[in-house]
C-alpha cells in the first residue's frame, strides 16, 4: 500500500483578476499558506500557464515548475476540462460551448474541434516536460441529448456515437501514450462518459486503450444515486486521479435527480464544501488506500452556499485528516511465533 499524496487544490475555481488569485506565484503562496502541498493547473487560464509554450519549451516548463516549487508546492496534474469538452460537441450545444474556444473560432465547429484536439496534444507534451504522468479532462458528448430515451433511440445509435467519440480521442490517447501520460476522464453528467457503463462502452470502442483512465470524483455519483464506493471496487485499476469534492442529494415530492431546471441552491442534488455534504470520505480514502492508489487527493471546490476562501481554508486540513499513513507492519506482529517450512507442514498435519 501507499500513502495518498496531498492535500492538493484545483486552481480553476479560485483564479481571479484580484490578488492573490491573479498569478501562479501569488496563488501558490496563498494555497501553501492554507496547508496545501500541490496545485492542479487549469491550462486554459493564461494567468497561470501558456499551454503551447509549456509543450514546446522545456525551459518554460521548468520556469513554471520553479514558481510552484518556490512556494513549497508541487504540480499535481494539468487540466484541459474546457478544451476536452470541445473535442465532441453536439450541434445543439454549439452556442453554449463556443465560449470555451478562442473568439476567432466561435461559430466554426470544425475549426473549434481541431483546436481542441491540438490543445490536448500540447497537454501531453507539457505534462511530460513538467514530469507529470496523469492528465485531467472531459470527454465531450455526442449522445448526451439522448440520455433519457424519449423518443426511442434508433437501433445502433449508441454504438455509432461511441465509435465516433473514440475516433476523435484515439489520436490524443496515442499522443498521451507517446509521452508517458495517463489521460484521466472526469466521469460527469453532461459528458458521454458519465458513469461506469458509459466509460466501459467508450473504453471498448478505443480497443481498451491503456491510457484511457479515470478521474474519480464521488460528488457526481451522489447526484446520480450511484454507489460511489462499489465504483472504486470495480474501476480501481483505472483510477489515476482523485477530486475530493462533496455533495448531497435530498429529493422531495417536487424534484429529484433532474432538478426541475432550478438553480443550484434549490436543486435536490447540490455540490457542497468538504464535510458539509453526504460523501463518506473515510470509506473513500480507505478503499483508495486499500487498492494502492498512488496519486494525489486534490480538492475541487464547488459550493452554492459557502465562500470559496472558507471552503479552501477548511479543505486542506479536511483532506490531511483523511489521508491514511499506511503501516509497514501488521497489527498482530506482537503475537507472531515465527515459522519455517517444517512448522507450516506440521500445522497443516502433513
- Residues 99, 108: Cα–Cα separation, whole Å: 12
Task: Report pLDDT for 334.
Answer: 66
Query: What percentage of the chain reaches a pLDDT higher than 90?
Result: 94
Q: For the chain, what are the domain ranges?
A: 5-347
* Average pLDDT estimate for 120-140: 98
Task: Report pLDDT for 328.
Answer: 81
Q: Taking the CA of residue 12 as centre, how many other CA atoms within 13 Å lie in the half-sphere pointing to its CB?
A: 19
pTM greater than 0.85: yes
Task: Report pLDDT for 35.
Answer: 98
- Residues 292, 160: Cα–Cα separation, whole Å: 36
CATH number of 5-347: 3.20.20.150
* Average pLDDT estimate for 51-68: 98
Query: What percentage of the chain reaches a pLDDT higher than 70?
Result: 99
* Average pLDDT estimate for 54-70: 98
- Residues 186, 40: Cα–Cα separation, whole Å: 14
Residues in the chain: 350
Per-residue pLDDT at 347 exceeds 70: yes
- In whole angstroms, how far apart are CA 30 and each of 7, 75, 188, 281, 301? 14, 15, 29, 25, 15
* Average pLDDT estimate for 100-118: 97
For residue range 205-233, what is the model confidence (pLDDT) as tens digits?
A: 999 999 999 999 999 999 999 999 999 99
Q: Cis link prior to 151 (omega < 30° from 0)?
A: yes
Task: Kindly report the average pLDDT of the chain as a whole number.
Answer: 96
For residue range 232-273, what is the model confidence (pLDDT) as tens digits?
A: 999 999 999 999 999 999 999 999 999 999 999 999 999 999
Task: Report pLDDT for 335.
Answer: 65
Among residues 177, 165, 233, which one has the least CA distance to residue 209? 177
For residue range 302-341, what is the model confidence (pLDDT) as tens digits?
A: 999 999 999 999 999 999 999 999 988 777 666 677 778 9
Per-residue pLDDT at 115 exceeds 80: yes
For residue range 152-193, what is the model confidence (pLDDT) as tens digits?
A: 999 999 999 999 999 999 999 999 999 999 999 999 999 999
* Average pLDDT estimate for 129-145: 98
Find the Cα–Cα–Cα–Cα dihedral 235, 241, 246, 248, rounded to 10°. -30
Q: Taking the CA of residue 345 as centre, how many other CA atoms within 13 Å lie in the half-sphere pointing to its CB?
A: 4
Cell of 107: 461559430
Angle at CA 299, nearest 5°, toward 18 and 55?
70
Among residues 218, 325, 209, which one has the least CA distance to residue 280? 218
Cell of 119: 490543445
Radius of gyration of the chain (CA): 22
CB atoms within 10 A of CB 268: 18
Cell of 137: 479532462
Amino acid at each position: 500500500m501507499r500513502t495518498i499524496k496531498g492535500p492538493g487544490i484545483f486552481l480553476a475555481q479560485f483564479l481571479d483578476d484580484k490578488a492573490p488569485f491573479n498569478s501562479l506565484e501569488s496563488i501558490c503562496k496563498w494555497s501553501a499558506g492554507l496547508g496545501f502541498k500541490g496545485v492542479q493547473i487549469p491550462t486554459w487560464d493564461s494567468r497561470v500557464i501558456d499551454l503551447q509554450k509549456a509543450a514546446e519549451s522545456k525551459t518554460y516548463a521548468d520556469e513554471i515548475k520553479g514558481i510552484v516549487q518556490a512556494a513549497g508546492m508541487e504540480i499535481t496534474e494539468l487540466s484541459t476540462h474546457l478544451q476536452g469538452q470541445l473535442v465532441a460537441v453536439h450541434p445543439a450545444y454549439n452556442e453554449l460551448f463556443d465560449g470555451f474556444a478562442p473568439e476567432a473560432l466561435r461559430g466554426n465547429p470544425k475549426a473549434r474541434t481541431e483546436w481542441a484536439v491540438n490543445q490536448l496534444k500540447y497537454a501531453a507534451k507539457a505534462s511530460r516536460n513538467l514530469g507529470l504522468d496523469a492528465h485531467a479532462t472531459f470527454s465531450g458528448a455526442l449522445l448526451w441529448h439522448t440520455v433519457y430515451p424519449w423518443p426511442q433511440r434508433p437501433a445502433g445509435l449508441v454504438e455509432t456515437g461511441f465509435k465516433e467519440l473514440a475516433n476523435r480521442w484515439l489520436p490524443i490517447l496515442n499522443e498521451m501514450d507517446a509521452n508517458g501520460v495517463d489521460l484521466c476522464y472526469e466521469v460527469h453528467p453532461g459528458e458521454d462518459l458519465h458513469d461506469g457503463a458509459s466509460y466501459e462502452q467508450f473504453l471498448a470502442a478505443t480497443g481498451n486503450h491503456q491510457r484511457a483512465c479515470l478521474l474519480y470524483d464521488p460528488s457526481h455519483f451522489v447526484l446520480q444515486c450511484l454507489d460511489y464506493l462499489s465504483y472504486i471496487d470495480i474501476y480501481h485499476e483505472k483510477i489515476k486521479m482523485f477530486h475530493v469534492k462533496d455533495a448531497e442529494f435530498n429529493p422531495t415530492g417536487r424534484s429529484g435527480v433532474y432538478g426541475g431546471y432550478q438553480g443550484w441552491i434549490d436543486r435536490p442534488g447540490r455540490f457542497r464544501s468538504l464535510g458539509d455534504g453526504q460523501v463518506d470520505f473515510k470509506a473513500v480514502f480507505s478503499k483508495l488506500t486499500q487498492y494502492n492508489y498512488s496519486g494525489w487527493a486534490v480538492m475541487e471546490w464547488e459550493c452554492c452556499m459557502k465562500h470559496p476562501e472558507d471552503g479552501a481554508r477548511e479543505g486542506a486540513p479536511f483532506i490531511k485528516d483523511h489521508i491514511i499513513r499506511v503501516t509497514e507492519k501488521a497489527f498482530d506482529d506482537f503475537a507472531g511465533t515465527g515459522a519455517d517450512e517444517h512448522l507450516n507442514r506440521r500445522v497443516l498435519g502433513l
